[in-house]
Structure 1
Amino acid sequence: MFEHIDFNHLLATYGYLAVFIGCLLEGETILLLGGMAAHQHVLKLLPVIGYASLAGMLGDQLLFWIGRYFGARLLPRLHKQQAVIDRVTQMINQHPAVSIFSVRFLYGMRLVGPMVIGACKVSPLKFTCFNALGAAAWATLFASAGYWAGEFLEGMLGDLKPYRLPIALGVIALMVVFALARHLRARNKAVKSL
């Protein structure tokens, strides 16, 4: 079944769309893969960074507005996220600009953080400006990391073209294992605190 699928053609045709959608939802894994595809000249690095920046910014803008209008009712329902909500609230009260810029880099705060910021009634203009800067820095960092990972793997394996699908699946598997390990560690810590 898979022998007829040209992964390289799919990547070249739908790669930017995949980067945009992936970064709209969460992003790091697809952005690393987008950077690796740019290293292999299947995609171009600047458009990968551009689409990722735009998607990351739009996703956080949406979450900000959800928090601004529905945060008072929504956030109390997120019992499992209370520690994150408290941490983001404290960060916003102490350093609002730094918090807006950096929330996407902090594990566990990527989705809840912009909602909390919106609920804290931060100025929409301030949020938009620092969110755009944070999104551009985030996209540049992760796409570049993927690009240099491609450079490293090419140095080890030679031509990566025959390995593109296994590398993509391997990166996804590693990210899933990493996320699962962090989730289990956080759950164990929560159980121990009871």
Structure 2
Amino acid sequence: MHMFEHIDFNYLLATYGYLAVFIGCLLEGETILILGGMAAHQHVLKLLPVIGYASLAGMLGDQVLFWVGRYFGARLLPRLHKQQATIDRVTQLINQHPSVSIFSVRFLYGMRLVGPMVIGACKVSPLKFSCINALGAVVWATLFASGGYWAGEFLERALGDLKPYRLPIAMCVIALMVAVALVRHYRAKQQGLKSL
């Protein structure tokens, strides 16, 4: 633990926190957003900018995937054999409830990346997608950042002052994220072997 004594965790979070929230929400999302909410509870970051950066990142990420689906979906989607069940579910949802599917796709597990591409490939109006996507991104960011904020409140009531625990909490979250990534990779590899 001696090597971490000179790390000013508050400075790192305050300096790079919003950038980390933006990049994290562009790539993955919920975990970094919950951490951003917890950092806001600890007054290292402010809650409204966390929600703002997360909303912007979530909206931009889905917009890019939408346009990828719109221009390359016909060639790209048939190659995603492992995602075929998800593609079929999203396609069915779009055909039955287009507005609901645009709004809710970011909340549905396993559909976050493929969903916007399928919506783009289904030739949904770009203006309609942009408006509903923006609303969905704001609601998503508000819910998860607020969840992180209230998780910080709960932990503070349970543990007292959280400042001494910031580095161990961050290390545990990083370890958890690596473990989740490894499990996903292993499962994808196993499914690939089964399909051979």
TM-score normalised according to structure 2 size = 0.90
Task: Please tell me whether the aligned partners of residues 71 and 116 of structure 1 are also in contact (alpha carbons under 8 angstroms).
Answer: yes
- C-alpha deviation, 1:171, in angstroms: 3.0
Question: 1:19-98 residue pairs with structure 2 within 5 A?
Answer: 19-98=21-100
Q: 1:192 to 1:76 in 2, by over 3 A?
A: closer
Greater Cα shift, 133-142 or 166-175: 166-175
| C-alpha distance in structure 1 between counterparts of 2:194 and 2:81, whole Å | 17
- C-alpha deviation, 1:170, in angstroms: 2.2
TM-score normalised according to structure 1 size = 0.91
| C-alpha distance in structure 1 between counterparts of 2:193 and 2:79, whole Å | 20
Question: 1:43-192 residue pairs with structure 2 within 5 A?
Answer: 43-177=45-179
Question: What SS class does the counterpart of residue 109 from structure 2 fall into?
Answer: coil
Question: What SS class does the counterpart of residue 77 from structure 2 fall into?
Answer: helix
Question: What SS class does the counterpart of residue 5 from structure 2 fall into?
Answer: helix
Greater Cα shift, 170-179 or 49-58: 170-179
Deviations, residues 68-102 of structure 1 (Å, cap 9, x unaligned): 00001111111111111111000000000000000
Q: 1:149 to 1:18 in 2, by over 3 A?
A: same
- C-alpha deviation, 1:8, in angstroms: 1.3
Question: What SS class does the counterpart of residue 4 from structure 1 fall into?
Answer: coil
- C-alpha deviation, 1:174, in angstroms: 3.7
Task: Please tell me whether the aligned partners of residues 20 and 51 of structure 1 are also in contact (alpha carbons under 8 angstroms).
Answer: yes
- In the alignment, structure 1 segments of 5+ residues that lack a partner are none
- C-alpha deviation, 1:180, in angstroms: 5.7
| C-alpha distance in structure 2 between counterparts of 1:17 and 1:115, whole Å | 25
Q: State the identity %.
A: 87
Greater Cα shift, 41-50 or 163-172: 163-172
Question: What SS class does the counterpart of residue 41 from structure 1 fall into?
Answer: coil
- C-alpha deviation, 1:173, in angstroms: 3.4
Task: Please tell me whether the aligned partners of residues 85 and 113 of structure 1 are also in contact (alpha carbons under 8 angstroms).
Answer: yes
| C-alpha distance in structure 1 between counterparts of 2:63 and 2:179, whole Å | 29
Deviations, residues 169-188 of structure 1 (Å, cap 9, x unaligned): 22343455456667767887
Root-mean-square deviation (Å)? 2.1
- C-alpha deviation, 1:40, in angstroms: 0.1
| C-alpha distance in structure 1 between counterparts of 2:49 and 2:21, whole Å | 10
| C-alpha distance in structure 1 between counterparts of 2:103 and 2:126, whole Å | 14
